[in-house]
Structure 1
Amino acid sequence: MRTYLALTTAAATLLAAGATAYAVTPAHPGPAAKPLAGLRVLISNDDSMQAAKASNSDGLGLYELRRAMCAAGADVVVMAPWQVQSGKGTAVTNGGVVTAQRRTALPAGYEDDCSAAPSQGAVFGVCLAAGPCGKDTPSATPADTVKLALRGGLRAKVGWKEAPDLVLTGINSGPNVSASVNDSGTVGAAVAAVDQGVPALAFSSSGDESNTFFPRENYRAHAEFGARLVAGLRARSLLTPEFALKVDYPDVSTGQRARPAVWTRVGDGAVVYHAFEQRGTSDSFDIALGLCPFDGTGEGECAEGRKDADSTWLLDKGHVTVAPITWDRTYGTPVEARRTLKRIEQYVEHDAPRP
């Protein structure tokens, strides 16, 4: 990671005739360096880069995250799925052609967020096509976009000759907790990054009470918290590729404040589950999503057995939750970066920014 040193001018002393000392007024200091200045950040998600739906479920959180990171001084490039890819997990495309198409007309209100950054916050949508991406063109998966970016896409499109310093995914429309983590394309994209040796964080925000609308207020609060969280990790040299961090934010759209960040584990129950209903006696089944109760009364697959579960602390108690995610699925494999893991846990529990 690059280290930047800010040089300050010390006050000088002018000795006048007769040995009388006069203090010279120090030069006015320049503006304080932004906390993420010089940090090169790739952003992806699984909600796409469209941000066109009234529900705010198709990428608005990505633009809030881009906004906050650029405001903190980062140089940001977005490579995200062309279409919504929610639930794709770590899926990849094994053949064919992908196109990374730059978006020139950004969503209203986000056009100038990164205008001062070297890469100007360039936004690319990645589709499965040999030509231009159209309205109905199939999309690359979240993991595809990260792999493309790290394996030549960033070099070709924006001239980054080295890997970014950090990959951020999200902000997802809806929390990714408990069993949903395995399905999450937002988490899957972060896993793809650490698999390539690049530090990564995956951000997901709660929706409103209906869980069908995702307020801008939630995305903005999460993005601004996320920028400060990343700044704290960076200042402590805790941006590590050994594992990803999953950061979920509660609903604050009705005016309540999020409670402080808590270090958690992924829960062993479900919050959302897949339901299948047969169509009469045919071979076809309708797929639907079932929603478990959030009040701790769930049974069967909805039952949560861990006291430090992300779902409990996020949905029941209203805290920001942070959990480490590893790419290594071998059961019982110890985390090699245990010292770093402990330091990040202590930072989250004791020194993380207040929501």
Structure 2
Amino acid sequence: MNRALRTLLVVACTTGAVLSSLTVAASQDGTSRTPASAKPLDGMRILVSNDDSMQAAKASNADGLGLYELRKALCDAGADVVVMAPWQVQSGKGTAVTNGGTLTLAKRIQLPAGYENDCSGTPSGSPVYGICLSAVPCGPDSASATPSDTVKFALRTGLAAKAGWQDGPDLVVTGINSGPNVSAQVNDSGTVGAAIAAIDQGVPAVALSSSGDASQMRFPVANYRAHARFAAGFVAGLRARDLFTDRFALKVDYPDVSAGQRAKAPTWTKVGHGQVVWHAYEAKSGGDQDSYDIAMGLCPGRPGDPCTETVPDADSTALLERGHITVAPITADRTYGVRTDGGRELRRIEQYVTRYAPRS
């Protein structure tokens, strides 16, 4: 493990979810180089997106409320934050992009109750935009841009046009997602997909997801708030130690703390291979025999089935079974810094592809 990653582990284990600890930024030698009156993210420009939309209208808190807790925490720590997020919920879209049509921005004028005065006085004004796929103003039924769409648009055009950030943001933070993104479901995650879009454009990124009550599909504000405060401290520590990188994104998942329990210390994990969320397809009763309802729930978890986690130090195990905050490095192939099993089979397939597979 190189020095940068060792330092990252120290950051993850020492930055807490308490904003009062953010008033002093430590350098690598442990000495303070920031006046106590300064904020640790002063002067930093951060793009925020997600896959849950920017609506924050549902009682379940599953449609973007975590985004507003994150925006508040980052601004409170001194950052200038601009939100460009999907217009509608885009959960499960992964790294999907839209290849044609028109994107339209809808600036949110009235923020959700309790968040109206957040980010006042920032250089950009910290606007919140939802992005729809439409040639006319976004309406209730407008199709939505995907999470990756929003990040690519923001980095290539949107931030310069709407915030005056000609040279882009210093960091992209995605989330806070309603529900964890761990193990095999990372492939589906629009929250992670948006972070991957950022590093593909050369911008460091952090993807945040919080646990909730999976049985009721409800996501307590307490979890978002705790994770947002932790995230602000985590980003501040990375900044103080010059650890931002676009070689990989950091995926940070937060346990359920809504009953008053404390999250266990951050731990460095790998992206697991087991399935936590299970999609089932049930024939629609009384209807067309070719129609099937999509049902989503927790994987049944029978030994040996796809639900079984086989990766040591998997993110899902540390988060869901042990209650830790989990941090995992991730790239488009989910494997940065991870030595996978099945190396011989992998080499054989690679040889087939490069030497013997049909070329047309």
Q: TM-score, normalised by structure 1?
A: 0.82
Which whole-Å CA distance do the structure 2 matches of 1:274 and 1:192 have between them? 25
Which whole-Å CA distance do the structure 2 matches of 1:329 and 1:260 have between them? 23
Conserved? CA contact 2:271–2:334, under 8 Å: no
Mapping for residues 225-304 of structure 1, pairs under 5 Å: 225-279=230-284, 282-292=289-299, 298-304=303-309
Matched, 1:178 2:186: no
Percent sequence identity over matched residues? 69
- Partner SS for 1:307: coil
Question: Deviation per CA, 1:3-34, whole angstroms, max 9, x where unpaired?
Answer: xxx9xxxxxxxxxxxxxxxxxxxxxx986210
Structure 1 unaligned spans of 5+? 1-5, 7-28, 335-355
Matched, 1:116 2:121: yes
Q: Name the stretch that deviates more: 274-283 or 187-196.
A: 274-283
Conserved? CA contact 2:40–2:78, under 8 Å: yes
Conserved? CA contact 2:48–2:85, under 8 Å: yes
Mapping for residues 321-332 of structure 1, pairs under 5 Å: 321-328=326-333
Matched, 1:166 2:171: yes
Question: Deviation per CA, 1:305-337, whole angstroms, max 9, x where unpaired?
Answer: 122010000000000000011125799999xxx
Q: Call closer, same or farther: CA 1:286–1:77 in 2, change over 3 Å.
A: same
Question: Deviation per CA, 1:169-223, whole angstroms, max 9, x where unpaired?
Answer: 0000000001110000000000000000000000000002635110000000000
Q: Call closer, same or farther: CA 1:209–1:137 in 2, change over 3 Å.
A: closer
1:37 paired residue among 38, 42, 61: 42
Conserved? CA contact 2:180–2:209, under 8 Å: yes
In structure 2, give the amino acid aligned to 1:306: V
Residue number in structure 1 paired with 2:14: none
Provide the alpha-carbon RMSD of the alignment.
2.1
Conserved? CA contact 1:174–1:211, under 8 Å: no
Conserved? CA contact 1:194–1:327, under 8 Å: no
Conserved? CA contact 2:54–2:88, under 8 Å: yes
- Partner SS for 1:239: coil
1:289 CA displacement: 1.1
**Greater RCO structure (CA 8 Å; 6+ sep):** 2
Conserved? CA contact 1:36–1:69, under 8 Å: yes
2:320 paired residue among 315, 333, 337: 315
Mapping for residues 1-355 of structure 1, pairs under 5 Å: 32-208=37-213, 210-279=215-284, 282-292=289-299, 298-328=303-333
Which whole-Å CA distance do the structure 2 matches of 1:171 and 1:332 have between them? 25
Question: Deviation per CA, 1:31-50, whole angstroms, max 9, x where unpaired?
Answer: 62100001100000000000
Q: TM-score, normalised by structure 2?
A: 0.81
Conserved? CA contact 2:330–2:336, under 8 Å: no
Which whole-Å CA distance do the structure 1 matches of 2:302 and 2:227 have between them? 28
- Partner SS for 2:294: strand
Conserved? CA contact 1:279–1:286, under 8 Å: yes
Q: How many residues align?
A: 305
- Partner SS for 2:143: coil
1:106 CA displacement: 0.4
In structure 2, give the amino acid aligned to 1:159: G
Which whole-Å CA distance do the structure 2 matches of 1:220 and 1:310 have between them? 21
1:245 CA displacement: 0.4
Conserved? CA contact 1:267–1:306, under 8 Å: yes
In structure 1, give the amino acid aligned to 2:103: V
Which whole-Å CA distance do the structure 2 matches of 1:89 and 1:315 have between them? 22
Structure 2 unaligned spans of 5+? 1-23, 25-33, 340-360
Higher Cα radius of gyration: 1
